[in-house]
Structure 1
């Protein structure tokens, strides 16, 4: 059996990632209980048994405690382009990533049995909504850099279109989950919309 990515990291790095995840999980639990704006970083630190400075070492802003997967999203999108097979178009690799995230019901897919409460918290907090928009821009910038390395015709434009398409499908599915639609039905439509979105992106010819 192949090792998971974290298992290949040095022990020190694995411990840091575990600490980061534990702090985020504790913060998320508090936010779900009381609402994002009602919980302070100091309270998160006390619950996690660390100092507020330690929390900020891992999460520069309070919003990052909840929206903690922005760096992972940037890493995954960029890696899909950089690690693709020789001769494979970047959009083909990105489509495969998007569908894999959906199949895994990964949080970055936006589709899962337990994700509606997450989006309810985001919807109720202007600070989280603003940070989410910034996160989209950060992922777009990292993807544009990877596409430039891959020789795309117009990296910034292709990155913007790709992230906009992904976000549009993502948000539509999140809204349906918030409305109580069955997860399997949402996932089926999500897959179809992703395929349509990437087919439209491929017709631009920008990844050549």
Structure 2
């Protein structure tokens, strides 16, 4: 059975965008080898260990002497490898905790599961769970979701002449469109049930959306030198995140109703493009009273 934790990352994280998307996701945060279904979960990523950091190389196999004495530099310390192994064990423990929590949440709901039960199923003590996740909601939502950094980067990297709403809106549409993939369907459905079944998670999700909105508004305000209290940055940011939240809820509704694959992907693209048009061209002609 596919773990809920492995297939719920698109909510507030970073899936790979379509190749033809006008605002491609940054390659460094969306590795092409990772399937969309594995990019939906939202827990914080562990900092890379020292073993993962590229080290300078030389033709002689030794680092140059910065003092110019000609003597070879000292060999790297052995404890670095131990630190790397320790970090890998830490990550493995973290993954076990997330998997155990996801299984229990799917079985009985977020609010009915205790941290002690999660620890017992993961084979660790309760303190270990809290060392990795200081709050229980962290097992479902990342405190600083990759979605925020990716969205802001899409805005910063937009070409000259492209508006914030076009760049951010296109990114949002491409993100949510991946929820229509068959690989994501099972996890999206399970996570929708978990989130919607818990008032605590619903509140936290709204907080996350608010935090991303604030970050986008701050970026727009900084870029446009907006005066304090100026409404335009906040209106633009709320519109973009409103589109995101609406498409996310639509995807959850459809998946829970059994609609997946290309029919869902096509509907999300169609609704997303409609919403994107409203963002770019305004609401003046929408819902006029007759």
Aligned to 1:185: 263
Superimposed CA distance per residue, residues 52-83 of structure 1 (whole angstroms, 9 cap, x where no aligned partner):
44544543421221123862222222222123
Aligned to 1:145: 218
Aligned to 2:251: 173
Superimposed CA distance per residue, residues 12-39 of structure 1 (whole angstroms, 9 cap, x where no aligned partner):
5975894655543332122113321222
Aligned to 2:49: 11
Distance change (3 Å), C-alpha of 1:136 and 1:200: same
Q: How does 1:20-59 map to 2 (within 5 A)?
A: 23-50=97-124, 52-59=126-133
Cα offset, 1:95, TM superposition: 2.9
2-structure distance, mates of 1:10, 1:61: 23
Aligned to 1:127: 200
The answer to whether structure 1 residue 156 and structure 2 residue 241 are counterparts is: no
SS in 1 for 2:206: helix
Unaligned 5+ residue runs, structure 2? 1-26, 32-46, 53-86, 227-231, 284-290
The answer to whether structure 1 residue 113 and structure 2 residue 191 are counterparts is: no
8 Å CA contact 2:179, 2:251 repeated in 1: no
2-structure distance, mates of 1:29, 1:171: 22
Unaligned 5+ residue runs, structure 1? none
Aligned to 1:64: 138
Cα offset, 1:163, TM superposition: 0.8
2-structure distance, mates of 1:13, 1:53: 27
Aligned to 1:80: 154
8 Å CA contact 1:136, 1:163 repeated in 2: yes
SS in 2 for 1:37: coil
Distance change (3 Å), C-alpha of 1:4 and 1:159: closer
1-structure distance, mates of 2:153, 2:120: 36
Superimposed CA distance per residue, residues 159-200 of structure 1 (whole angstroms, 9 cap, x where no aligned partner):
111111221122122112112224422221111111111111
TM-score by length of 1: 0.77
TM-score by length of 2: 0.57
The higher-RCO structure (CA 8 Å, 6+ apart) is 2
8 Å CA contact 2:169, 2:279 repeated in 1: no
2-structure distance, mates of 1:85, 1:23: 42
8 Å CA contact 1:177, 1:183 repeated in 2: no
1-structure distance, mates of 2:202, 2:155: 28
Cα offset, 1:158, TM superposition: 0.9
Cα offset, 1:97, TM superposition: 1.7
SS in 1 for 2:279: helix
Q: How does 1:89-108 map to 2 (within 5 A)?
A: 89-105=163-179
Higher helix proportion:
1
SS in 2 for 1:171: helix
Larger radius of gyration: 2
8 Å CA contact 1:112, 1:183 repeated in 2: no
2-structure distance, mates of 1:46, 1:86: 54
